[in-house]
Amino acid sequence: MGNESEKIKILNQLVGLVDDQASKFRANYRKMKPAQFSSERKLILDNIQNAILIANEIKSNPDIKSLIFDFQKLKTELSNIKQNPS
């Protein structure tokens, strides 16, 4: 991938994207149809995984480990959400 500053820029964009997606998902997952629930959750989980991969490549920032931990926690939380049958 690119240099450190490019990785940080991409990571910052992913953090914003994941935050927005996760907030909307948490607010609406109970109302979603099963296909929408599955596809939106998968998209968020894939974006979280991409962010973790990029974060692991960044060595210069001491806050990266905390960010990775937060992403892993969010990934676990979203993975454990079950949709209630309507």
Inside any domain, residue 50? yes
Report the pLDDT value the prediction gives residue 19, as an integer from 0 to 100. Answer: 97
What average pLDDT score do residues 19-30 get? 96
Q: Which domain holds residue 69?
A: 4-80
> Does the structure show a pLDDT above 70 at 85?
no
Of 13, 22, 53, 27, the C-alpha closest to 40 is 22
Structure tokens at 34: 């099963």
Specify the number of domains making up the chain. 1
Inside any domain, residue 85? no
Inside any domain, residue 56? yes
Quick one: how far is CA 26 from the chain centroid?
13
Inside any domain, residue 86? no
State the amino acid at position 13 in one-letter form.
Answer: Q
Report the pLDDT value the prediction gives residue 81, as an integer from 0 to 100. Answer: 93
E strands, 1-86, in order? none
Report the pLDDT value the prediction gives residue 1, as an integer from 0 to 100. Answer: 61
Q: What is the dihedral of CA 31, 19, 10, 68, to 10 degrees?
A: -110
Tens of pLDDT, residues 57-80 = 997 788 899 999 999 999 999 999
**pTM to 2 decimals?**
0.90
